[in-house]
Amino acid sequence: MSGLRHVAPEAAVPSLDGQGCHAGADQMAAAARAAGNTELLNRYAKDYPQGPHDKPQSMCPAFGSLRVGLRMRRVATVLSGSACCVYGLTFVSHFYGARRSVGYVPFNSESLVTGKLFEDIRDAVHELADPARYDAVVVTNLCVPTASGVPLRLLPKEINGVRIVGIDVPGFGVPTHAEAKDVLAGAMLDYARAEVAAGPVAAPTTGRSDRPAVALLGEMFPADPMMIGAMLAPMGLAAGPVVPCRAWRELYAALDCKVVAAIHPFYTAAVRSFEAAGRSVVGSAPVGYEGTMDWLSSVGQAYDVTAEKIAAAQNAFGASIRAALAANPIRGRITLSGYEGSELLVARLLIESGAEVPYVGTACARSAWSEADRAWLAARGVAVKFRASLEDDCAAMAGFAPDLAIGTTPVVQKAKELGIPALYFTNLISARPLMGPAGAGSLAQVITAAMGNKSRMAGMKAFFEGVGKDDTSGIWEGAPNLRPDFRAAHQKKLDKLARAAKAEEMI
Ligand code: SF4
């Protein structure tokens, strides 16, 4: 029990239990600070600066780190959080084909307040730590345990040779599920770096490349790392592991790469770990003609490759990228938004394919690694919005009246209401190659087909015109039974409750 933090009941635990997203982010953050997590929240505020939306506007951020853990071989994942959060997270994981159990340590107000939850987590970790089955166990504190200061840092670092990695991924500190991937990737890299410093580590099962390699930061379409490898070959370089990794040993191989390509620009903690290992980091990605030429040059220079070899790589692929772009033109106006971190790259590709892209919104924050893409887009008159809210994305779509809106689920839904053809960024755009010659022609078909649906969308809109919307939607025998007086009375009640809550805060 020594060292175990007991959370005082006045640390808002009873009022937080069972709340989460529904509690105010400020209230949760204040509780977390009171419970000893000030340093953690300050680090997250620096790593993941918040923008107009300070709460998740899409799925729970912890899904990002959960998915990273679930995709790794010989890694067990355990969640500690409210049952409703864990239900949602496991549901989405299995929807996306996790094919693996997600561990859960349940709690109630009492076990949270007395510190028994920490003991339960420790017992669960001991039970799971079987070296025959696992290289690592990842334990994640969701909102309520983070707000209550459940001290995962006090878990043993290793049990029977199985590494134990504890992370806090609260919705009030980590704004997007993309950045939650970084929380786990960074924690794993830090762990692996300490192992490397302590002595020899295992080589990757796939063996080591005989050429200097470039580690790739960001989840990509499976063919993209191969394409990148082919483009690096004329410079005498190879594609290294993709971080987040699929196996623990790949972390060592990634740390071994002298140069890291931040293909997705939001991996702040991972970059910090690479830089602590003395690695240099290159931003942007090899998308389209100009993007690929610039990226090959940056990577070559970071590896001190001769200008001749850089030119050889550029010449080997420049012509085929140009040919693929010319053979697969995209005509029309497109607004684009998403939360994957690759939005700016996709916008570059669309513009080089001939599309007009007036707006790009990304839920991720501005960073040094997306700066070249931002500048390239801004120079072409594109409004780039970092930490874009759903409202920003919808306003841009309504304002620019595009031929196609690419966005998240609620943006696509709104587009359909307006009769605008739309595509889901995550399912339909992220699931395609984007890099080099393979990426240059990959988007045209799906985008042109979607744009071609404009008249069908208009037909559907006309067909459903007049069926009402919101609380008057559907088929009514008479006029919809609207009661503005009831609504006004209810609003008064809500206002009164809000005033009472405000007054309580000030006491
Ligand atoms: S863990 Fe996720 S679902 Fe649960 S309260 Fe936090 S943000 Fe919401």
Asked, for residue 204, whether it belongs to a domain, the answer is no
Three-state secondary structure call for residue 148: coil
Asked, for residue 73, whether it belongs to a domain, the answer is yes
Binding site membership of 16 for ligand 1 (Cβ less than 6 Å):
no
Binding site membership of 173 for ligand 1 (Cβ less than 6 Å):
no
Binding site membership of 21 for ligand 1 (Cβ less than 6 Å):
yes
Binding site membership of 260 for ligand 1 (Cβ less than 6 Å):
no
Could you tell me the CATH number of the domain that includes residue 276? 3.40.50.1980
124 and 80 inside one domain: yes
- Provide φ and ψ at 453, rounded to 5°: -85, 5
- Does residue 266 contact residue 182 with C-beta atoms inside 8 Å? yes
Cα-to-chain-centroid distance, residue 85: 18
Binding site membership of 85 for ligand 1 (Cβ less than 6 Å):
yes
Distance CA 334, CA 360 (A): 9
93 and 53 inside one domain: yes
> Ligand 1, closest atom to CA 19?
5
For ligand 1, atom 7, the nearest C-alpha belongs to: 171
Binding site membership of 60 for ligand 1 (Cβ less than 6 Å):
yes
358 and 431 inside one domain: yes
Binding site membership of 384 for ligand 1 (Cβ less than 6 Å):
no
52 and 18 inside one domain: yes
Cis peptide before 49 (omega within 30 of 0): no
Lateral strand order in the sheet of 158-159: 103-104, 75-80, 136-141, 162-168, 158-159
Binding site membership of 171 for ligand 1 (Cβ less than 6 Å):
yes
pLDDT the model gives residue 53: 55
403's CB contacts (< 8 A; 6+ apart) are: 332, 333, 334, 420, 421, 451, 454
Owning domain of residue 110: 13-175
Ligand 1 midpoint to CA 140 (Å): 12
Residue 422 is encoded by which pair of tokens? 């739309």
Asked, for residue 429, whether it belongs to a domain, the answer is yes
340 and 277 inside one domain: no
342 and 312 inside one domain: no
Ligand 1 midpoint to CA 173 (Å): 11
State which of 302, 323, 344 marks the end of a domain.
323
Asked, for residue 499, whether it belongs to a domain, the answer is no
Positions of E strands within 218-293? 238-243, 259-261, 280-282
**Helices first, then strands: H and E counts in the chain:** 22, 14
- Provide φ and ψ at 439, rounded to 5°: -80, -30
> Ligand 1, closest atom to CA 142?
1
Q: Strands 103-104 and 75-80: what pairing?
A: parallel
Q: Is 197 left (phi over 0), alpha (psi -120 to 50) or beta?
A: alpha
Ligand 1 midpoint to CA 82 (Å): 8
Ligand 1 midpoint to CA 92 (Å): 13
> Ligand 1, closest atom to CA 20?
5
Binding site membership of 20 for ligand 1 (Cβ less than 6 Å):
yes
335 and 311 inside one domain: no
> Ligand 1, closest atom to CA 170?
6
375 and 297 inside one domain: no
pLDDT the model gives residue 1: 30
359 and 251 inside one domain: no
- Does residue 158 contact residue 14 with C-beta atoms inside 8 Å? no
Asked, for residue 307, whether it belongs to a domain, the answer is yes
pLDDT the model gives residue 28: 82
283 and 349 inside one domain: no
Counting the structural domains of the chain, the total is 3
pLDDT the model gives residue 469: 75
- Does residue 110 contact residue 116 with C-beta atoms inside 8 Å? yes
Asked, for residue 507, whether it belongs to a domain, the answer is no
28 and 48 inside one domain: yes
Binding site membership of 347 for ligand 1 (Cβ less than 6 Å):
no
237's CB contacts (< 8 A; 6+ apart) are: 211, 212, 213, 214, 299, 300, 303, 305
Distance CA 178, CA 184 (A): 11
Asked, for residue 284, whether it belongs to a domain, the answer is yes
> Ligand 1, closest atom to CA 22?
5
30 and 73 inside one domain: yes
The structure's pTM equals 0.86
Residue 426 is encoded by which pair of tokens? 């995550």
Distance CA 424, CA 337 (A): 9
Asked, for residue 503, whether it belongs to a domain, the answer is no
What is the residue-wise DSSP string for 38-91? HHHHHHHHHHS---S--S-SSS-THHHHHHHHHTSTTEEEEEES-HHHHHHHHH
Distance CA 351, CA 35 (A): 49
For ligand 1, atom 8, the nearest C-alpha belongs to: 21
Binding site membership of 457 for ligand 1 (Cβ less than 6 Å):
no
State which of 126, 154, 175 marks the end of a domain.
175
Mean pLDDT in each 10-residue stretch from start to end of the chain (507 residues)?
30 46 73 84 86 66 95 96 94 88 92 92 96 97 93 96 96 91 97 92 74 95 95 97 95 96 97 97 97 97 96 96 95 94 96 97 94 97 94 94 94 92 88 92 91 89 80 79 88 91 73
Tokens 């029990």: give the residue. Answer: 1
